[in-house]
Amino acid sequence: MAIAISQEAFDDMVRENMEDLGMDPDEALADAVDALTLQGANLSGIIRRVPGDAVAEEVNPVMRVLDELKASASGRSGEDLDRLVSLLDELLELCSGEGAENAAVAARNGGVEALVALCASAGVMQEGLLASGLKALSSLIRDVGSTEKFRQSQGPKIVMDILKGALENSDILDGGFSVVAAASAGNEVVKDAFMDLKVDELILEVMRNKSNSKVQSVYDAIRVLLTPDDNRVVASQVYGYSRKFAEIGVAEVLVIALREQVAPSSLPSACAALKAIAVNVRINYDIYIPHK
């Protein structure tokens, strides 16, 4: 198990390298990183800076956005909501794609918990805030540590409640199922939590509504929920989940969607979702026979 280290402890080590060992700033920083890595420390989300350096002391952009989000979240005026949405969109931009390190910084400094709480407190009518909040949250969840923070913050129930109240809003559905996919990746306990909350039945309800055909993340959620990707688990339960998805009709609805309504850009995700459901001969037979 990786050794936990705080930002303060990291900064102190760099400072000691300079003050006690006479290293120059760059050497002190590199030595601290190398030494802690050899010791098995988890440096994910640690801001690698030289204490006292004018440039390094500038506020990290992710930390700035998080601090402003936490400050603005206490208000709910129209101006505050607009500012919150803008900050959430900025956080999404910082943490998406190649922003893995930014996402780690945000997760280490309470970003996952803050966004879960923000989404939980948002009203049903605050659609723009919810959509932006869910998308930003999904960009922060990238490893087992962040998925556990999501779980411990009651994230599965909160997201499921939001999705159930937004069955006609494709933006919220897309953001919500993006969170389901991100939080379930590599974490069997989170998959179990979503299944206990009947995410399979919710997915079926969403997919039966043709107006939701553009919600690509629902296909990603199916694939991730049904993939045995938690290396900590000896015997995964996901194959049983696949059978349940097939039994309630998700496979059949998915086949129909592939034939009639899935956008070309969503075809790879939809096909991967169907493959994840079709785990045995009987399910393959049931999928194939009605649609020959």
pLDDT band at 125 (very low <50, low <70, confident <90, very high): confident
Contact between 114 and 70 (Cβ < 8 Å): yes
Specify the range with the lowest mean pLDDT, choosing from 27-31, 59-63, 242-246: 59-63
Q: What is the mean pLDDT of residues 82-94?
A: 95
Return the bridge partners of 41, or none: 3
Percent of the chain with pLDDT over 70: 90
Residue spans of the domains in the chain: they are: 1-53, 59-140, 168-292
pLDDT at 226: 97
User: Which one has a higher pLDDT value, 52 or 37?
Assistant: 37
pLDDT at 282: 61
Whether the pLDDT of residue 281 is over 60: the answer is no
pLDDT at 3: 79
Whether the pLDDT of residue 127 is over 60: the answer is yes
> 208-240: per-residue pLDDT in tens?
988 777 899 999 999 999 999 999 998 999 999
- At 186, list the tokens: 């590599």
User: Under 8 Å CB-to-CB from 182, ≥6 apart: which residues?
Assistant: 137, 138, 139, 141, 142, 147
Q: What is the pTM of this model?
A: 0.85
pLDDT at 292: 45
For 267, phi then psi, to 5°, come to -55, -45
pLDDT band at 76 (very low <50, low <70, confident <90, very high): low
Specify the range with the lowest mean pLDDT, choosing from 47-56, 124-133, 155-164, 192-201: 47-56
Contact between 146 and 140 (Cβ < 8 Å): yes
pLDDT at 137: 98
Specify the range with the lowest mean pLDDT, choosing from 70-74, 96-100, 171-175, 232-236: 70-74
- At 53, list the tokens: 């350096």
- At 181, list the tokens: 């996919």
User: Under 8 Å CB-to-CB from 96, ≥6 apart: which residues?
Assistant: 139
CB-based burial label for 168 (10 Å; 0-12, 13-18, 19+): exposed
